[in-house]
Structure 1
Amino acid sequence: MVRSRSRIRRLVAPVRSLFVSDASAGVLLILVAIAAMIAANSPLSDEYRDLFYGYMFPKDVFKLNTLHLWINDGLMAIFFFVVGLEIKREIICGQLSSPEQRRLPVLAASAGMIAPALVYLFFIGGDAGLTRGWAIPAATDIAFAMGVIGLLGSRVPASLRLFLLTIAIVDDMGAVIIIAAFYGEYFNPFWFLMSVLLLAVMVGMNRFGVNRIWPFVLVAFALWFAVLFSGVHATIAGVLAALTIPMRSSNGSSLLERMEHSLAPWSAYLVVPIFGFANAGVDLSDMGLNEIFAPLPLAIATGLFVGKQLGIFGIVVGAVKLGIAKAPDNASWPEIWGVAVLCGIGFTMSLFIGELAFVGNRTLIDEAKIGILMGSIISAFLGYFILRLTTRHPEESDPQSEPA
């Protein structure tokens, strides 16, 4: 029996290693985006659109009356919950726990959000109808960017992997704030007050030592429902709920760590791919070059590709030269530039913000998707080749070597 189990473990080890590597989630997202584009431009395009946008019931029955809305407003709350858990853990005991550790990533992420937004606003040329999309190129996709890094193996030093991951986490924090502040549909005082009360209940549960999962899950679901009707985007409930989960240790691990460990694979390999497949597909049959290279997709693509690397690389150079922060260990300037380019991959969060920015306007949403895909693909390829040509750290692949 023991031999049989050992043999099974050996057989599944290669598959398991693929799906726990840095590259796997990013590769999966690439495949999902390709599948969505094929589905949207195949003989099944009508079925693809009807699946996600066909009405399940009248809106007066329940607000979420399409599968697309259930995915974006419901299922994605799990993704945002995992993001919130990760943010809290990093702030308390991770790479954002001290001023020295967080200084450079916070500066880089902030500049990496401001510069793309400014580039976007410059390229749309004052078109008031497109102004709401300013935040679309401001987001970096963690899974996609880390996936490209993962494909390079030990060529990329651990310090750069950590730098990219920390930037992306801070970037997600900024994106959550932007969504909450700028992309609400309306404001309902009653449901907002209910949201505040339910959040207070979760904070109280933390303070009074509740350390079981199910009470937090029940109240978190109620919080999601209240936020959904408050006018603040429902997925923000995921982040708020996550911030109330206890981090104190119990039996060697905290409730937060247990929940993050359990949910992170489901988020990376189920929730985000479903979201990507539902949102990445664009029907190009009715689009000519004028639509593909319209001001909106060009502004988004340029914001992601040019704005991200200008903002991040520029602020890192400035901060290091002025002595404000220390550069990542064992990393050259070309390598740091390559990571800055990779930050222009804005798949998941950019698609999400695009849907919110132009809600109800399918033409602009599709144009935004084209811009996101163009900017992300160019950033991924260029970032990969920069790092492929400039990095080689064999000492980090040797388990006997001392860390640099």
Structure 2
Amino acid sequence: MRDGRRERSVFLGLLPWPERVQVARALRTETVGGLVLLAAAVVALVWANTPWSGAYEDLRDAHFGIPALGLDLSVGHWTADGLLTVFFLVAGIELKRELVVGELRTPATAALPVVAALCGMAVPAAVYLATTGLGGGSGQGWAVPMATDIAFALAVLAVLSTHLPSALRAFLLTLAVVDDLGAILVIAVFFTSDLNPIALAGAVAGLVVFYVLQRFRVRGWWWYMPLGVAIWALMYNGGVHATVAGVAMGLILRTTRDEGEDASPGERTEHLLRPVSAGVAVPLFALFAAGVSVSSGAVGEVFTSPEPLGVVLGLVVGKTVGIFAGTYLAARFTRARLNPDLAWADVFALAVLAGIGFTVALLIGELAFPDPADAEHIKAAVLLGSLIAATVAALLVKRRNRIYRRLWEAETRDEDADGIPDIYQHTAPGRDNTDGTS
């Protein structure tokens, strides 16, 4: 308390050192994975628009598996239902960490990113529904423009060689984590079909066993890997999208360290699986999901059909308006004070960047539009909307990069070479930013 009033918190200020280290580690892997993702998307687009496009479709549609267990899937479905489970498992661990020790652990720190993320999901859906309503189209794709692709966004920043401050990157990461939770809830609630109660009961029982093993501190991959595969298979056969199993297991994994532990089970699992998720699972999904035919007619279809147009406007306009307005209003009502070294123009650029909705948007597009012809148009809209958002964000971020470079240099300067930036050791009396306490 100062002068009888509650001190205003700083929004997008200097991160506590432990949080800075964790965020930097996560973003480093996601950035590399994002570059691989970009390469995979380019390969898919080029391959699908060459005389060898038939080979691409044959490979994507080739089936293999164990029919007796209900797992005879195409290569494309294995990447969407199987490999993306790894992506959502990592997302579940991220969310658990944010809820326990990160930005979402208290209502005060969670308010801004949660409100921003919720507005960033609701407004794009509303824009899509308004567009399709006015154009006489179908509203079934309302969830497609809701999610942000953090890897793709970070890849754009890497290509631009920007020096975005860690607080802005952390805010983008938190937005994406909440987005992922919203997306998986949407998938679980709205895109389930032909429910099999027995298989679902088996999946729930498997999750209970998973929890008990964690509760009693049982270690060893030989327990968890077979159990995880069984939970995934039962969830798939139960009629719920199999990626839900990944998020559920991620939320169950313990993310706090016991006395004497070097790392929690969640930290160890994330350390092992994040490179697989970012460097293998997501790029392979993109390879078999982003291969759409690009022609003047296909591009024209995006801007003349209400459903694809709703996706583009939802990503480019809805995401920007939703996240920026949500952040601004939340800051006003929570009395948060924007970091004086930044401006609301930086938040606006971040909101535009969040309009890159690649991986999860493509996944929901496939679920919302089972007809291949309709799905192709939606995929084209996702690609085009993400490209527009990336281009506009690049211009906005580059315009402010001189300021970002100055802040980044101040954050990373380590003249005594002790491994901890000097800014964390020269703080006001009574404040120790190396452990996040004050």
Output the TM-score relative to the length of structure 1. Answer: 0.89
Q: Residue 198 of structure 2 aligns with which residue?
A: 190
Please say if 1:225 is aligned against 2:233: yes
Residue pairs, 1:249-288, within 5 angstroms: 249=257, 251-284=261-294, 287-288=297-298
Return closer, same or farther for 1:49/1:329 CA change in 2, 3 Å cut-off.
Answer: farther
**Partners of 1:328 and 1:183 in 2: how far apart?**
41
**Correspondent of 1:397 among 409, 412, 421:** 409
Note the 1:90-239 alignment, pairs <5 A. 90-125=98-133, 130-153=138-161, 155-239=163-247
Residue 386, structure 1, aligned to residue 396, structure 2: yes
Residue type at the aligned position of 1:50: D
* Structure 2 unaligned residues grouped into runs of 5+: 1-24, 415-421, 428-438
Instruction: Please say if residues 212 and 255 of structure 1, whose CA atoms lie closer than 8 Å, have aligned partners that are also in contact.
Output: no
CA–CA separation in structure 1 for the residues paired with 2:219 and 2:66: 40
Structure 2 vs 1, CA of residues 104 and 122 (structure 1 numbering), >3 Å: closer, same or farther?
Answer: same
**1:81-100 superposed Cα distances (whole Å, 9 cap, x missing partner):** 11111111121112222222
Instruction: Using the TM superposition, give the Cα deviation of residue 286 of structure 1 relative to its aligned residue in structure 2, in angstroms.
Output: 9.6
Residues 126 and 226 of structure 1, relative CA distance in 2, 3 Å threshold: farther
Q: Which amino acid aligns with 2:311?
A: I
Residue 47 (1) aligns with residue 62 (2): no
Q: How does 1:280-299 map to 2 (within 5 A)?
A: 280-284=290-294, 287-288=297-298, 290-293=300-303, 294-299=305-310
Amino acid aligned to 1:396: W
Deviation at 1:290, TM superposition (A): 4.5
2-structure distance, mates of 1:58, 1:285: 38
More displaced, 307-316 or 62-71? 62-71
- Change in Cα spacing, 1:222 to 1:63, as seen in structure 2 (3 Å) is closer
Q: Name the one with the larger helix percent.
A: 1
Is 1:23–1:151's contact at 8 Å kept on the other side of the alignment?
Answer: no
In 2, Cα distance between equivalents of 1:111 and 1:341? 14
- Distance in 2 (CA, whole Å) between partners of 1:286 and 1:133 is 23
CA deviation vs aligned residue, 1:234-253 (integer Å, no higher than 9, x gap):
11111111222223425311
Find the counterpart in structure 1 of residue 357 from structure 2. Answer: 346
CA shift for structure 1 position 288? 4.6
Secondary structure of 1:65's counterpart equals strand
Contact 2:133 2:139 in 1 (8 A): no
Taking a change above 3 Å as real, the CA distance of residues 22 and 59 of structure 1, as seen in their structure-2 partners, is closer
| Structure-1 separation of matches of 2:107 and 2:114 | 10
CA contact (8 A) 2:286 2:359 kept: yes
Shift of 1:28: 2.2
Q: Superposition RMSD on alpha carbons, in Å?
A: 2.4
Residues 25 and 143 of structure 1 are in contact (CA less than 8 Å); yes or no, is this contact kept in structure 2? Answer: yes
* Paired amino acid for 2:150: I
For residues 75 and 134 of structure 1, the distance between their equivalents in structure 2, rounded to whole angstroms, comes to 25
- d(CA) in 2 for partners of 1:208, 1:146: 38
Structure 1: distance between partners of 2:126 and 2:266? 37
Matched residue count: 386
The worse-fitting range, judged by mean Cα deviation, of 62-71 and 21-30 is 21-30
**C-alpha displacement of 1:284:** 3.4
Does structure 2 retain, via aligned residues, the 8 Å contact 1:45–1:283?
Answer: no
Mapping 1:27-46, distance limit 5 Å: 27-46=35-54
Amino acid of the residue matched to residue 388 of structure 1? Answer: K
Q: CA deviation at 1:101?
A: 1.9
Q: Which amino acid aligns with 2:326?
A: I
- Aligned equivalents of 1:217, 1:240: Cα separation in 2: 14
Partner of 2:381: 371
Do the aligned partners of residues 147 and 285 (structure 1) sit closer, same or farther apart at CA in structure 2, a change above 3 Å counting?
Answer: closer
Aligned twin of 1:314: 325
Q: Please, which runs of 5 or more residues in structure 1 have no aligned partner?
A: 1-16
Distance 1:21 1:329, change over 3 A: farther
C-alpha change, 1:288 and 1:347, in structure 2 (3 Å) is closer
Task: Report the AA paired with residue 142 of structure 1.
Answer: I
Shift of 1:264: 0.3
**AA aligned opposite 1:227:** M
- Name the CA distance, whole Å, in 2 between partners of 1:135 and 1:175: 8
Compared with structure 1, are the counterparts of its residues 256 and 333 closer, same or farther at alpha carbon in structure 2 (3 Å cutoff)? same
Secondary structure of 1:209 counterpart: coil
Contact 1:119–1:302 under 8 Å retained in 2: yes
SS of the residue aligned with 2:423?
coil
Tell me the CA shift for residue 331 of structure 1: 2.2
Contact 2:63 2:72 in 1 (8 A): no
Letter in 1 for 2:289: N
Q: 1:199 to 1:288 in 2, by over 3 A?
A: closer
Q: Evaluate the alpha carbon distance shift between residue 225 and residue 127 of structure 1 in structure 2; reply closer, same or farther with a 3 A threshold.
A: farther
Provide the rounded CA distance (Å) in 2 between the counterparts of 1:333 and 1:162: 16
Comparing 323-332 with 338-347, greater Cα deviation is found at 323-332
